[in-house]
Amino acid sequence: METLELTQEEQFQARIDADTRIEPKDWMPDAYRKTLIRQISQHAHSELVGMLPEGNWITRAPSLKRKSILLAKVQDEAGHGLYLYSAAETLGASRDQLLADLHAGKAKYSSIFNYPTLSWADMGTIGWLVDGAAILNQVPLCRTSYGPYARAMVRVCKEESFHQRQGFEIMQTLSEGSAEQKAMAQEALNRWWWPTLMMFGPKDSESPNTEQSMKWRIKRFTNDELRQKFVDMMVPQAEFLGLTIPDPELKWNEAKQGYDFGDVDWAEFWDVVKGNGPCSRERLQARVQAHEEGAWVREAALAHAEKRKQRAEAARAVAA
Amino acid sequence: MADVPTHATTLAPTSPADAQALLLPYVLQLADTSLILAHRLSEWCGHGPILEQDLAMANIALDLLGEARSYYQYAAELEGKGRTEDDLAYLRSAVEYRNPLLVEQPNGDFAATIARQFLYDAFHYHLLLQLQQGPDRQLAAIAEKSVKEAAYHVKWSSEWVIRLGDGTEESRRRLEKALESLWRYSGELTTPNATEQALQAAGLVPDYAAIQQQVDAHVARVFEEATLPVPQGVFMQKGGKDGRHSEHLGYLLTELQYLQRTYPGLQW
Amino acid sequence: MSQKEWPLWEVFIRSKQGLDHKHVGSLHAADAEMAIQNARDVYTRRLEGVSIWVVESKHVHASNPDDAAAFYEPANDKIYRHPTFYTVPDSIKHM
């Protein structure tokens, strides 16, 4: 029995090594299933909670065009959450259970969404920086080993590229605008830079699951690799915008052909992860409230569907 | 368009040129209506009862926003003073806004949002059906595009009225309560104000009596399936179309216009 | 008060006339009508479709991956089913 199990596991790993996708009904190790459910649902929760900081500005968007774009973008995030919950459901999780874990504070989501959006420039910064960081994380996941997850990510990435561009466009407009607008853009960058770097997660040395996840190809780069990539990508863009990245230690390193940069405030990172971010409480509360206040709506729709079904059956019985 | 009430004749324009001049306030009324309702719906974004419906409401809001922008652009053109769609949306005060009272009413619970949406959609759809055949080519073009969207909106909100009315006891109670407070704003939609009467006389705006009949028939059909009684003898509030709004609009505009008012004259 | 979730539906979309419906994902809905509308709102926001099918997930029957060898490998040696198995003289056209 034990040798058979081992063979199955070895076969499984061989398929992954050969870049053959794993599909829902295929055999998979329990740990793979559990890790995936955790990772996909965290990602889904991030999309869902991520609607709130930007949703905060939909009613205050400064032009009709911006209002349309922002609303479409936040709506996309709802869509992304939905695609991802669907992917998790193929592994036997239920959306209701995943949401219950989120609402109980048992599930994590990206720490970035626990920061407040204070000015219009935050909409630019979130699109440009935060979505930029998200894309770096997400593009490799389009080739992740689990089929439904990879397919959901392809859809997400396709839609996400407009998000980053609209953010950059807001930043560019502000940077080329009045002194007040430029100051608004810089102030937002100052607030969001470090939390964005935290999005890539703890340092590799403190990320014990990375090795297994890389082996399973549900993670394709390490946290530090992605963080470095991100900084290298963002510095020239900030320069183009005429904005200063708030890191005095930032400088080009010719030898590694990349930027050296300062260390993230890891104490702050762990505080936010533990639920003590500036808006952690409000974000979770907003989600719980929406879910609870929606309960009677969901219930009514089910009750009505049931009534209809019974009526149709009764009509059939009469006809027969 | 023969039977215009006599009291309106004093207000009615005497020439097509005058009627054309009245088109601007009417187009603004259409623009404001779509914008305010889109704004209200967009407040739901991220807070809907289930993800799927969050997306549905955002889609409707986006349709309405797009429609509002088309009207504002046309209004700016009619006005000919170099103002933009944003100037018209962001720099007019509450008393200058021309939307009917219904659409500015707060979201309340999901039942109130559905009731408001349903009452508006039923009118909106039938209005657009007529407008797309009207003599003003630009208005007809906007209506032709929007009527497809409105057809979906009215389907969506009608089905929700049926689900909530014939769902659970709680959903029915909530919907009845919502209708009790919102029904009194439904009359304004099809009660022409002086501008509309004049434009109706000139054939630029469709006959509301006919639209009212179609709306009534639709509402009766949906309410029957929802097992709801159609409210009778309710006093109808009006005034929004003439700038006499409820107190809600001021707050809505304060939020909507915040950045444009705080930093005048900038590009965003 | 029931705590039941809306059922899960699989969504298939025809991206344009002439093509097959293709599985695009899933969603929750209380009934079939709502599932179609939700599919429209969720999966066709960027002109992705002209037609939608929905099937309640519990009604989809799938083959067992353990049967894969028995199901699909026997087709491997039936190369005579493929036109390239046959040689046709160069001078013969339209075949």
Q: What is the DSSP string of A136-167?
A: HHHGGGGG-SBHHHHHHHHHHHHHHHHHHHHH
With beta carbons under 8 A apart, name residues in chain B contacting A55.
45-47
Pair A171, A234: CB distance under 8 Å: no
C33 contact B CB<8A: yes
- What per-residue confidence (pLDDT) applies to A319? 85
Q: How far is C57 from chain A (nearest CA, A)?
A: 10
Confidence of residue B182 (pLDDT cuts 50, 70, 90): very high
Strands A251-253 and A258-260: antiparallel
* Helices A179-198 + A147-175 axis angle, to 10: 150
Subunits adjacent to chain A (3 or more Cβ pairs under 8 Å): B, C
Rounded to 5°, the CA angle B35-B57-A58 comes to 55
- Among C37, C46, C47, C52, pick the best mutation site for testing chain B contact (most B Cβ within 10 A): C37
Contact check, Cβ <8 Å, B55/C34: no
Inspect the interface and report whether the beta carbons of B55 and C6 lie closer than 8 Å: no
Q: Does A22 contact C at CB distance below 8 Å?
A: no
Q: Is B163 close to C37, i.e. CB distance below 8 A?
A: no
Contact B19, B204 (CB under 8 A): yes
Q: Which of B28, B47, B225 to mutate to test the interface with A (most CBs of A within 10 A)?
A: B47
Q: What are the chain B neighbours of C48 within 8 Å (beta carbons)?
A: none
The pLDDT value recorded for residue B90 is 98
Residues of C at the A interface (Cβ-Cβ below 8 Å)?
Answer: 1-6, 8, 25-28, 30-31, 34, 42, 45-46, 62, 64-65
CA–CA distances in Å: residue B86 to residues B62, B82, B118: 16, 11, 28
Q: What is the mean pLDDT of chain B?
A: 94
- Using the predicted structure, report yes or no on whether residue B5 has a pLDDT greater than 50: no
C24's enclosing H/E stretch is strand C21-28
Helix axes A280-319, B110-131, angle to 10 degrees: 70
pLDDT at B1: 40
Whether the pLDDT of residue A67 is over 90: the answer is yes
Residue B2's pLDDT band, with cuts at 50, 70 and 90, is very low
Residues on chain B touching C41 (C-beta within 8 angstroms): 52, 55-56, 59
**What is the chain C residue with the closest CA to B159?**
C34
Confidence of residue C48 (pLDDT cuts 50, 70, 90): confident
A67 vs B15 pLDDT, higher one: A67
Helix axes A280-319, A30-55, angle to 10 degrees: 110
Q: Which of A60, A82, A301 sits opposite B259 (nearest CB)?
A: A60
Nearest C-alpha in B relative to A295: B49
pLDDT, mean of residues A124-149: 95
State the pLDDT at residue B50: 97
Radius of gyration of chain A (CA): 22
Q: How many CB pairs (< 8 A) connect B and C?
A: 26
The model's pTM is 0.94
pLDDT digits (tens, 9 = 90+) for A222-250: 999 999 999 999 999 999 999 999 999 99
Q: At what angle do helices B169-182 and B137-165 cross, to 10 degrees?
A: 140
B227: left (phi over 0), alpha (psi -120 to 50) or beta: left
| All domains in chain C, ordered by first residue | 8-81 (3.10.20.520)
pLDDT digits (tens, 9 = 90+) for A286-308: 999 999 999 999 999 999 999 99
Q: Do B55 and C38 count as a contact with CB atoms less than 8 A apart?
A: yes
Chain B residue nearest residue A180, CA to CA? B263
**Contact (CB<8Å) C38/B56:** yes
Determine which helix (DSSP H) or strand (DSSP E) holds B58, and give its type and residue range: helix B51-79
Q: CA angle B123-B125-B129, nearest 5°? A: 115
**Range scoring the smallest mean pLDDT among A293-302, B222-231, C44-53, C64-73:** C64-73
- In this complex, the residue of C33, C41, C45 whose CB is nearest that of residue B52 is C41
Distance from C-alpha of A214 to C-alpha of B83, rounded to nearest angstrom: 57
Lowest-confidence pick of A142-156, A290-304, B139-153, C79-93: C79-93
From chain C, the residues in CB contact with B44 under 8 A are none
Interface of B with C (CB under 8 A): 50-53, 55-56, 59, 152, 155-156, 159, 163
Q: Which residues of B touch C40 (CB under 8 A)?
A: 152
| Residue C71 clears pLDDT 90, i.e. is over it | no
- Contact residues on chain B for C54, CB-CB shorter than 8 A: none
The confidence score (pLDDT) of residue B4 equals 41
For residue B7, name the pLDDT band (cuts at 50, 70, 90): very low
Of A168, A129, A167, A164, nearest to A246 by C-alpha is A129
Average pLDDT, stretch B101-109?
98
Check whether A209 has a pLDDT greater than 90: no
Q: Do residues A70 and A58 touch, judged by C-beta distance below 8 A?
A: yes
pLDDT tens for B35-79 read 999 999 999 999 999 999 999 999 999 999 999 999 999 999 999
Question: Chain C partners of A83 at a C-beta cutoff of 8 Å?
Answer: 25
- A–B: how many Cβ contacts below 8 A? 138
